[in-house]
Amino acid sequence: MTHLAEAFTAGVKPGGLTDNLQIRILLCYMIKTAGPITRETLQGALLQEQLVNYFEFADALADVEKQQLVLHDAENDSYTVTDKGFTVATTLAQDLPRTVRESAIRGVLQIQSWRHKAAMNRAEVQETADGYAVVCTIGEDGSDVFRLELAMPDKLVAEMVKNNFIAHGNVLYNKVMDILSQPGDEQDRPPAALL
């Protein structure tokens, strides 16, 4: 019996939720606050913050959908709250610990922010004959405006560079453009004999 109980609390930090009713309220609150929102974002935020167990999350999400507290849009794979779910979230969310509500929304915002950065600052690790390459691109209006390929000695370093580019690619791009678009002085121009 102890092992069964542990299966539903595994991965949940102290102060997290193990009660299905509380998890359903939290889901309504999250979807009301940050919706429309995908299952992947909901799940990622709650598991990242260690607020719920995966199995409890899956059961509670199925329950709120079955009870018509939320609607699932299969085309966009996103959830929105219904009027009934809005009432539940508004009325009962205060019964949840404030730290749980704040952690859940913080998790959602982190995931959404990262996805936004990753959509603009794309990076891909490729294996090469000499190790690895990180191909970094920044897109705008459907085309790449910046492309950089960096050789890396191993996969661990390549993954770190990839993640740092996703997080800070726009800063790198701005610095490169700033340096390259400044008027140069005489030392920056090729000698007249080479022209």
Closest to 8 (Cα-Cα) out of 60, 74, 45: 60
Residues 32 and 109 placed together within one structural domain of the fold: yes
HEC assignment per residue over 49-93 = CCCCCHHHHHHHHHHHHHCCCEEEECCCCEEEECHHHHHHHHHHH
**Residue 3: pLDDT band with limits 50, 70, 90:** very low
96 touches 22 (CB < 8 A):
yes
What's 80's domain CATH number? Answer: 1.10.10
Residues 48 and 126 placed together within one structural domain of the fold: no
Residues, the chain: 195
How confident is the model over 162-174, as a mean pLDDT? 90
Mean pLDDT in the chain? 86
Instruction: Find the domain containing 141 and state its range.
Output: 120-180
Tally the C-alpha atoms within 13 A of residue 37's C-alpha that lie toward its C-beta.
27
Predicted TM-score (pTM) of the model is: 0.66
